[in-house]
Each structure stands twice: as structure tokens, then as C-alpha cells.
Chain A
Amino acid sequence: MAKYLLLLKNQISLITTYRFELSWRWLSTLFEIVVYFSLWSLTAQGNQADLKKLLLYYILFFGILHNLQSSKVASWMGDDISSGALNQYLTKPINFPLVQIIKTITILIVRVITPIIILSVGTLFFPGYLAPAGVINFIFFLIFALLGLILWNLLMVIIGSLAFWLTEIRSLVTVVDLIFTFLKGAFIPAYLYPDRVKTLLSYTPFSYLTSFPTDIYQGFVSGEKLFSGSMIIVFWIIVLGFLCRFIYGRGVRRYEAFG
């Protein structure tokens, strides 16, 4: 555990060195929020409650949850596998996918700090617009955001492990990332999906990556739905966890290194 904490510490100091780049990233996030909010705000037709719902949806989506879920884990795994850099991990007592996840998570945590501060300060001044529906909602939001993060990283490790067979996977990762981003509800707010699509997605991991925690934050999830959602997430974490172990294990057995 200590070695992973050390890695986390090193990564944080590495990332905070590039403060300027971080500022541009935050601006990019702001742009995404502005663009999608502008597009979909017309559907609210001036209804303040709908506008508030949409604004908060995109702030939580692009500012925090989507920002925490990056496809870098898969890309970096693919790079290390295809370049042979995996060798140095295999000879050490560390878990290669976990190292990649920690490396990515550090970047992402630093990236979401500012949006979180803005949201917190904003909540003090505009509680009617930005505050969670209640303390319980906020706690469950944090729990489900974390579960969503686990689900996302399991998916990324599976995609990254495909590099054992395909070698070059960067473009594949882009394709998968786009599809997942669409299904998560970036381009169309997930709560606006037709009911049939919503029901279908509720049985897949995609609903639980971002839109479910957002709904919890805004108080749109009943106790019954929360329970069934938890069951589905746990089911997917177990299934994807086994799949990860299986595919990665098979891949390592197949892997040939030189040098």
C-alpha cells in the first residue's frame, strides 16, 4: 500500500508543476458546460426549474464526474504493452493496471479540484441553483460517484488489455471513449432520453457512470431506485472485475518481451 501512496504523492507533485496547462483544461471544461447548456437550455422554454436542473446536470457532468473518467488508463496500458515498457512492471511486485489507474486518478483529482471549489463556493451564494437536495443525497452522490469511477476503470482496464492482441489501440480507445461518452449522456442530457432508452440503459453500466450520481445529487432517485441501482452496480463491478482479471491474465501469458 505504501508504494502506491508514494506513487500518488509523486504524481501529484508532477502534475501541479504544470499549473498553466491545468488552467487551460479548466477553461475547456467551462466551454463544454457553456456549449451544451446553451444548446439544451432552449428545451426548458424558460422554465426556471428545468434550467436549474440542466445547469446542475452539466456542471456535475463535465465539471466533476466526466472529468474523473478518462480513457488514459487504457491508452497508457496500450502504450506500455506495445512498447515493451510493461517489462519493468512485470519484474516488480506491483500491479500494472493499478499503477496506471493511480497515475490517471491523480491527474483527474487535480483536474476536478477547481470545479469542486467553484461548486462549493457557488453553493454558498446560490444554494437554490447548486446545492444538493440534502445531506444524505450528497453522501450518496459521493458513494455512487466512487462506484462509477470503479466501473469506468474496470472498463478501461479491459480495453487497455486488448493491446496484448491488437498492439496499437489508441484509435480503438477513442472510438470506445466516444461511444461511452454518448451513452453516459454528454451530448444529450441522460434525463431527456426516451423512457425506453432510459430503461434499457439502466441495466448497463453506462447509466451509473455519471447520470445516476447526478440524479441522486438533485434528489430525483427514490429509495427503491437507489436500492435496485446499487444491486446493478455491484453486479457489474463483480462481472467486470472477473473479466478484467481473466483478460489481463490471459494477455500477460501471451505477452512476449525482448531486451
Chain B
Amino acid sequence: MAGESAVMRLLADDMKRYLKIYFIFVKNSFQLFLSHRFNFLMGITANIIWTISQLISLRFLFDKISTFQGWSFQDLILLLAFGQIYVYTSVLIYDSNISDLPKKIISGAFDRMLTKPINIKFLSSFETVAIAQFIPMITTVTPLLLYGLAGRHSLTLASLLFAFLFIILGNIAFYLLTLALIGLTFFVENALSIKDFITQRTSDLSRIPTDYFPKAIRYIITYAIPLAFVTYYPALVIRGRVDPILPLTSLLLLTILFYYLGHVIWQKGLKNYSGVG
């Protein structure tokens, strides 16, 4: 019993320490954000323009058709909102750090990171926060989400909670997959392209309901790349078209699988790694 509580205390201390470190990362990123205001402002504008262009496209599309295989304009906006949440969350929290890893290995910066008394996967993932993404995330996703949710008879607190759970767990699964894929950098030189393609380029497909695609693509964007779990399933839950328990269990198993995959790749990769800086 005493041993168990000591372990818990150690874990809590570790958690507190990492939260403190993360707070410092956020603070540093905010200072950087302030010193490059014009660039960040343009970044925000780009994101807003992209969302508006997608909205115009959808509106235009629905002027020509009444329904997209049973999905209304409002449903597709909801799908777009969930897709945007995934894209912004990944870019805001970890994607730029993870994408920089191959460069850091080549420049020798990764060697310096290894000497720090912090978990290397944590440091490689969260060293900087893309503060500028936070503003467009709020300004573009909120209206899309509100519009997508407004006036739905099928909407209940339970369905909202389940949709939220899908998004949270799906984003964690995506992060773990991204981390696993970039870990391939230790073995092959093109890991960044693979990672970008699987975790970013495929997000284009999230704008279309998964059931529109042939079975093979449907399986790939659900079980190999958890895209359907962060966009399609939350939208289905909100529309009251699916029992969330089975897909949530699949997502949980997938998250665990990605965790172990990343763990093994990084462990072997770090053993394989020799500094070049």
C-alpha cells in the first residue's frame, strides 16, 4: 500500500514537472509570436481565407444539389468543423515540432536535446506551440460548429459528450501515429514525407462523408489512419446515426496500438542513432 502511494506521488510530481515545463514552452512561444506579428497575422488571414473558400464551395455545391448522399449542407459544415479542429489542434500543439525533427537530427540540434533531463518524445513534440493557430481555430471553428449544431433535434448532452470523446481520443491517436511515423527518421530519410502524407494530406478526405468512398478507402481512413474517428464518427453521433460504443472501443484499441508502435520505433531508433552534429 505504502509502495503504491509512493509510486502515485512520484507520478504526480512528474506530471507537475512536465506541466511546468509545458507552461514555459507556451510562454516562450507567445514571446516569439509577439515578435513576428505581421507574419502571424498573415498566417491567421490564410486560415480564415481557406475556411471561407471551403464554405463558399459547399454553399455553391448545395445550390446545385439538394443533398450529398443523405448529408445536408449543415451536416457537411459539421464535418468541415471537425476536420478543422483536427488540423488546428495538430498544428497548434505538436506538428511543427515533429516535422522539424529530421532537420534537428541533421543539424545536430537533436544531440543537444538528448542531453536534457526531459523525456525526448515530450521535448520533440511540444517544444514550441503555434500560438498563431489559436486565433483562427477559435474564429473559424466556432461559427462552423455553432452552425453545424444549431437546431438539431437529435442533439443530446450524451451525443455531444460522445462526439467530444471521439475528437479527444482521435486526436491522441493521431498524435501517437504521427510520433511513430516520424520515429522512422532514425531508419529512413523520407520519414517526413510519409508522415506529412498520412497525417496531413489525407485530412483533405475528411470533408467528404467516409461512407461515400469504396470499402477499401473507408477501412484505410478509419483503421490505418484514424481520420474517420475525428470527423465522420463525431458527426454521425451528433446526427444520431450510430451507436458510439463499438467505434469508441475500436478507437481506444487503435490508440493503444499506435502508442506501442511509437514506443517500439523510438526505442529501436534511439538505439540505432548516432549523433552527426
Binding site for B on A (CB under 8 A): 18, 20-21, 24-25, 27-28, 31-32, 34-35, 38-40, 42-43, 45, 166, 168, 170-172, 174-175, 178-179, 182, 187-188, 192
Contact = CB atoms under 8 A, between A and B. Distances in A.
Contact of A24 (B64, B69, B196, B207): B196
B46 A175 contact: yes
B205 A42 contact: no
B49 A42 contact: no
Given A32-B204, A42-B68, A174-B46, 16 more contacts: A20-B189, A24-B193, A24-B197, A25-B193, A27-B201, A28-B201, A31-B205, A35-B204, A38-B212, A39-B208, A42-B69, A171-B39, A175-B45, A179-B49, A182-B53, A188-B60
B49 A175 contact: yes
B54 interface: yes
Nearest to B40: A171
Nearest to A21: B193
A179 B65 CA distance: 25
A168 B39 contact: yes
Given A24-B194, A187-B53, A172 B42 contact: yes
Interface string B32-62: 0000101111110110011001101100110
A167 to B, nearest CB: 9
B154 interface: no
Interface string B59-87: 01100110011000000000000000000
Contacts of B201: 27-28, 31
A165 to B, nearest CB: 11
A31 B189 CA distance: 23
Contact of B50 (A20, A171, A178): A178
Given A35-B207, A168-B39, A178-B46, A21 B53 contact: no
Contacts of A39: 57, 61, 207-208
Contacts of A42: 61, 64-65, 68-69
B190 interface: yes
B46 A171 contact: yes
Contacts of A192: 60, 64
Contacts of A32: 204
A35 B203 CA distance: 10
B42 A38 contact: no
B202 interface: yes
Nearest to A182: B53
A188 B59 CA distance: 11
Nearest to B195: A24
B42 A21 contact: no
Given A31-B204, A39-B207, A178 B57 contact: no
A34 B221 CA distance: 14
Nearest to B208: A38
Q: 7 closest Cβ contacts across the A-B interface?
A: A171-B42, A20-B190, A187-B57, A174-B46, A24-B193, A171-B43, A43-B64
